[in-house]
Structure 1
Amino acid sequence: MKTYGKTTWLIPDCYLEPVSNGQISHEAICVLNTSPEEAAIELTLFFEDRKTDTAFRSSCPSMRTHHIRLDRLISEDGREIPRGVPYAVLVESSVPVVVQYSRLDTAQSELALMTTMAYAVD
């Protein structure tokens, strides 16, 4: 099978809602890896009012998909992504992948689900 995707992706509008009703409000970075190699994923977080954070990692097996739940992701030094704080993510992969971003907001009883393709960089 042919390998599809890019190695660098940008997601400029991320936000982990601090309030949940019923289901947990969360975000996910969905990765599709059509490569014969495992994808090592590095996430760089950019904030409006604090330093850039480069301590988050994940992976996606060869010929698989992986949903990186950002509300469950733990950094190399044991931290979570802060809730209630706007941020952006740079996704860098060791092999070409396809990246989609989704957000489930359950702050109100009416669920809000948003999903979009990340911006691929050549």
Structure 2
Amino acid sequence: MSNRKEGSTVWYIPDGFIPVKSSGNLESHEAICVLNCNEQDAETQVTVYFEDQEPIENIQVLVQGKRTKHIRTDWLDGSGRKIPKGVPYALRLESNLPVIVQFSRMDATQAENTLMTTMAYPAEQ
């Protein structure tokens, strides 16, 4: 095994949007999946950016060591503010330890559901 660093401490997700309405039994939503390969717990902080309003800052999420955490973006709450449905947003996730971040979107607005997933963008260290 090598001693190379796994992950990054800053990640960006520029395209977020939670639809107002869903159809069928599933609810449209988006999620950040954080993989922490470290022995120690990772202390992460999420910032939500908008086109026409101040960001939601300092959303703290703990990801235990050697674990993964799925974070529904519609459940994020920072200082009593949540991401509104029908509003474009972007995310920055910062961590005290290198982690790996993936972003997923479940679109249940049509008769057939669509699942999209992509790696977040890691900032250079």
Q: Which runs of 5+ in 2 are unaligned?
A: none
- Give the corresponding residue for 2:67: 64
- AA matched with 2:55: T
Alignment-derived partner of residue 6 in structure 1: 8
Structure 1 length normalisation: TM-score?
0.92
Aligned equivalent of 2:104 = 102
Q: How does 1:32-43 map to 2 (within 5 A)?
A: 32-43=35-46
1:116 maps to a residue whose letter is T
Q: Matched residue pairs, number?
A: 121
Task: Give the CA RMSD over aligned residues.
Answer: 1.4
Q: Secondary structure at the match of 2:75?
A: coil
Runs of 4+ in 1 over 4 A off after TM superposition: none
The Cα of 1:12 is off from its aligned counterpart by 0.4
TM-score normalized with structure 2 length: 0.90
SS at match of 1:7: strand
- Corresponding residue to 1:52 among 45, 52, 55: 55
Q: Return the offset for 1:110.
A: 1.0
Aligned to 2:115: 113
Residue equivalent to 1:24: 27
Structure 2 distance, partners of 1:40, 1:17, is: 29
AA matched with 1:29: I
- In structure 2, distance between residues paired with 1:46 and 1:74: 13
**Aligned-partner SS, 1:71:** helix
Larger Rg: 2
- Amino acid paired to 2:65: S
Letter matched to residue 76 of structure 2:
L
Aligned residue among 89, 92, 95 for 1:93: 95
Deviation of 1:78 after TM superposition, in Å, equals: 2.5
The one-letter amino acid paired with 1:113 is L
Instruction: List gaps (5 residues or longer) in structure 1.
Output: none
> What is the CA distance between 1:73 and its match in structure 2?
2.0
Q: Say if 2:56 and 2:81, in contact at 8 Å, map to a contact too.
A: no
